[in-house]
Amino acid sequence: MSLRHGFGRAGKAHPSRNMFRPARCFVMLPLGQNRVRSAGGYMLFSSITFLFYFLPLFLLAYHLLPAPNLVLLLASLLFYAWGDPARLPLLLFCIGLNWGFGLAIGRAGSGARVWLGLGVAGNLALLLFYKYAGFLVAQWAAVAPLVGLAAPEIPRIALPLGISFFTFQGISYLIDIRRGLVQPQRSLLRFAMYKAMFPPLIAGPIVRYAVIADRVDQRTVTPALWARGIESFTIGLGQKVLLANTLAGPVDRLFATAPGELSMGAAWLAAFGYALQIYFDFAGYSNMAIGLGRMIGFELPANFNRPYAAQSVTDFWRRWHITLSTWFRDYLYIPLGGNRGGPWRTGANLALVFLLCGLWHGASWNFALWGLYHGAFLVLERIGLGRVLVRLPALARHAYLILVVTVGWVPFRAEDFGQTWRLLRAMAGQTRLATTAGGLGLTATLATALIVGSLAAVWPRGPGPLRLAVPVRQAACLLLLVLSAASLAAGTYNPFIYFRF
């Protein structure tokens, strides 16, 4: 299977994928907290500190000094520790854990399964403690009085940035060694460089060791690769700063409005605006990470392939967050049996995978609902809806996909089940408020971002409409860079959604 395939035939795994409050190097997530927080003191790629200080100094050191792996490792540790050095030991522990268990698995022979189990359990224990302990205790606190027990105090545990990404990365490394897809990296320095590499560290793409194993020891940055890296980074920066950031403020205000005060049109604007915001926020950041990787000689895997141009939910998940969907496919769906056990077993496997996919995004029942919602449509398309869709015109299939996905973003963004239900009621017209341009809060800037964002999300790339001459592409990238830098210099709102995961 290629990276662009979603959950398909089971087989051998491919060796690849309130408003915002400032936080530092972690995010506090009390029960039900489903809002996005900015990274505060942490270095966003789309920040003045990163763009004009950290990145130029790093690139000079990386390309001029004789030990690029050491330079990359030290820069990555500095990057991660910038907001809060207290979280750095956890990353170092995770590096040591996976390096050690990788060596043990490689040497153990028939006992490799035991070492693999211990290594995977260690990664999951870190994730469960930091991300889900408070949520699980809160569920018990709600049930305990019903059975005559005292409710425990709910802990508030700081969520280290990127822990969902680098623990999944570690798990895939250990499993791939056990499967014989990669050899364990014996150099702690080289493994630490791979594990801590700052471009994909905290927001993906999830980079499997097999994808870059041949470049860990030695790599070459050609002029062509450097140029592609600058282009990818600049496009991602423009997506993040000029589109996602422009949409973020109005979307926040709409979701902060009591659903009873939203007209039907305003509710749909909130959902559709968020659909575009989260796409350009995350895809933009992924493109920046891919571009940075190319500047230092790594070809990181693609994470998005125009998901809003899909014509089914199945197709959407072949295009959205590709490295996560293929991770779940290769390390959970296929080991569960994939689609080999008949329709009922396949449906159960899909439902479980997408329930866990939802919970991967956060410890909240709203995320679980979002995952099950997508899983339900995947099951429906597999058992018959897909055959109906292929008979429809392409425009109808696309409208179906946009409708399903836009509605699905409501529980993902809403605070809790109550707000989700009220917003969905408003979207269904269960409101007496009239929809007017003024009531929508639709400004010229917001309207422009919606139009440009909608076109950019579905417009084809490659040969065809966007096949531009090299000088034109370079000029366009320069313009994007200047506009993005000007926007950041003006102090515009600059949150980042996926830092919380």
C-alpha distances in angstroms, 89 versus 86, 96, 100, 123, 181? 7, 10, 16, 15, 29
Phi, psi of 38 (to 5 degrees): -75, 165
Q: Please tell me whether residue 190 adopts helix, strand or coil conformation.
A: helix
Q: What is the C-alpha separation between 221 and 283, in angstroms, rounded?
A: 24
14 is catalytic: no
Q: What is the C-alpha separation between 90 and 200, in angstroms, rounded?
A: 17
Q: What is the C-alpha separation between 107 and 116, in angstroms, rounded?
A: 12
Q: Which residues of 379-402 are buried (b: 16+ CB within 10 A; e: fewer)?
A: bebbeebbeebeeeeeeebbebbb
Chain position carrying tokens 């991660």:
80
Q: What is the C-alpha separation between 234 and 479, in angstroms, rounded?
A: 9
Helix (H) or strand (E) holding 213: helix 209-216
DSSP classification of residue 85: G
Q: What is the C-alpha separation between 235 and 478, in angstroms, rounded?
A: 10
- Tell me, what amino acid is at 392? L
Instruction: Determine how many CB atoms are found less than 10 A away from the CB of residue 11.
Output: 11
Residues 6+ apart with CB under 8 A from 288: 45, 46, 199, 232, 233, 236, 237, 240
Residue 320, judged by CB atoms within 10 A of its CB (0-12, 13-18, 19+), counts as buried
Phi, psi of 158 (to 5 degrees): -70, 130
Annotated catalytic residue, options 5, 14, 321, 361: 361
Which residue, 274, 230, 233, 223, is CA-closest to 251?
Answer: 274
Q: What is the C-alpha separation between 10 and 288, in angstroms, rounded?
A: 33
Q: Catalytic amino acids?
A: 361
